[in-house]
Amino acid sequence: MAAQLDELDRKILGELQLDSSQSLDEIARKVGSSKTPVWNRIRRMREQGVITRQTAILDAEALGLEACFFVLIRTSEHEAEWQRKFLKTLRDRPEVLEAHRLAGDIDYILKVRVRNARAYDQFYQALISEVKIYNVTALLSMEEIKSTTVLPL
């Protein structure tokens, strides 16, 4: 699964993570190469799936999404049908930005971005009405110290 990347590939990825709107010439100059190899490598990494997509990162506060919760979920249900429905609910809900199945006594963790605490409660009520859940703990973020999509290379 892990692609074999050399130092130049990593430098290119670093630049694209910092600012993907840079021109090929600019990236080439910064990584100490030229346009053609940079272009070929970017194309190759796209095809390999190393580069997933290109996106605009928006400011959640500026959009009025002022509340962020991490939700710890324990469930007693482990049937395939229950899980299928639960996962579909998470994927369909746009306020769920992250969802992971965990090892250990907590089964799932979610990251949820909403307008305010009231909107979180609406999400929570909708969630527990759709699928049976044993125990839920919501952790309210007071301050986003760091939030990045930049992966270490």
Q: Which residues bind a second copy (CB under 8 A)?
A: 1-3, 5, 13, 16-21, 48-66, 68, 70, 87, 90-91, 94-104, 106, 108-109, 111, 113, 139-153
Torsion over CA: 130, 94, 18, 68 (sign): negative
Tell me if 35 contacts DNA by CB under 7 A.
Answer: yes
Q: Measuring CA to CA, how many Å separate 150 from each of 17, 103, 105?
A: 6, 25, 30
x/- letters, 53..92, toward DNA (CB under 7 A):
----------------------------------------
**88 vs 64: CA distance, rounded Å:** 26
Question: Is residue 23 part of the contact set for DNA (CB under 7 A)?
Answer: yes
d(CA 57, CA 84): 30
Which does residue 34 bind out of a second copy, DNA, none, counting CB within 5 to 8 angstroms by kind?
DNA
